[in-house]
Amino acid sequence: MEVDYSTIKVIGFDADDTLWVNETYFRDTEERFASLLEGYETKNKIDQELFKMEIKNLELYGYGIKGFVLSMVESALELSNNQVSQQTIGEILDLGKKMLLEPVELLDDVKTVLEQLKDDYRLIVLTKGDLLDQERKLEKSGLSAYFHHVEVLSDKKEDNYSQLLEHLQIDVKDFLMIGNSLKSDVLPLINIGAQAVHVPFHTTWQHEEVKVEENNYRYLKISKLSDILEYLK
Ligand SMILES: [Mg+2]
């Protein structure tokens, strides 16, 4: 696709599954959760119930690991008809703590890309999730110094982006967002007149999946982050 990034001055990066691995830890924990409850339901049913619970609770808890843990506990109670043992509840809490303590694994070429872009563009991070957890991951990632600004949003919809760009005094025409979620990192930006690049990760949370007629939207899709260097500069 023909793209023109000549006006771009600020580049926003999504963090989870764009700069570092995230979704994989959720998939692994869902597996462990299902085996903890295998005495009560089939794996399929457990997966479905947990997902439904997460979506139901999203408005109250927001995105991130802590809300996910609470949804696992509530699902365990529901799936077991309140019969789940205190020990199992303890094991669920431990699964969540383990997730919060995972090392930060950078995706390929992240440092190279940031290094190449840092002098010519203002780089910022736009993520959603738990504030404390995202700050911890950024710190552990060793990437903080590349970014002028880090924003943890409660959601990534058109309004969230518009308000943030206004607050940071960034003109939409100057802004390019790069991320793995079509729904959260790409389409809202196109809709407000900014530009966006989609870099899919190998696994996507069901809630982030969206079907679009790709031809209706003008955005670039690349297979790995470093491909962006061909288009910028
Ligand atoms: Mg992401």
What does the pLDDT look like over 47-98, one tens digit per residue? 999 999 999 999 999 999 999 999 999 999 999 999 999 999 999 999 999 9
User: How many other C-beta atoms lie within 10 A of the C-beta of residue 120?
Assistant: 12
Residue 215: predicted pLDDT:
60
pLDDT of residue 136: 95
List the domain range (segments joined by +) for residue 144: 10-20+104-232
Is the same domain home to 151 and 204?
yes
CATH number of the domain that 92 lies in?
1.10.150.240
* Ligand 1 center–CA 216 separation, angstroms: 22
Q: Where are the extended beta strands (E) located within 103-181? A: 122-128, 149-153, 175-179
Domain identity same for 75 and 114: no
Residue whose C-alpha is closest to residue 25's, from 113, 129, 110, 125? 129
- Which CATH number fits the domain that encloses residue 147? 3.40.50.1000
CA of residue 96 to ligand 1 center, whole Å: 19
Ligand 1 mean position to 185 CA, how many Å? 8
Give 214's pLDDT tier (boundaries 50, 70, 90). low
CA of 229 relative to ligand 1 center, distance in Å: 20
CA of 29 to the centre of ligand 1 (A): 18
Give how many domains the chain has, as a whole number. Answer: 2
Which of 66, 85, 100 is at the close of a domain? 100
Centroid of ligand 1 to alpha carbon of 128 (angstroms): 8
- The answer to whether residues 172 and 8 touch, using CB atoms and an 8 Å cutoff, is no
Average pLDDT of every residue of the chain: 94
Assigned domain for 1 exists? no
| Nearest partner of 100 among 69, 59, 121, 62, judged by Cα | 69
CA of 88 to the centre of ligand 1 (A): 30
Out of 100, 122, 141, pick the residue that ends a domain: 100
Let me know whether 14 and 123 are in one domain.
yes
Closest Cα partner for 164 from 189, 138, 199, 186? Answer: 189
* Side-chain-facing half-sphere of 63: CA atoms under 13 Å: 18
The Å distance, Cα 205 to ligand 1 centre, comes to 10
The alpha carbon of 178 and the centre of ligand 1 are apart by a number of angstroms equal to 9
In whole angstroms, give the CA distance from residue 162 to residue 189. Answer: 9
The verdict on pTM exceeding 0.75 is yes
Q: How far is ligand 1, taken at its centre, from the CA of residue 201, in Å? A: 8
| Total residue length of the chain | 233
| pLDDT above 90 for 5 | yes
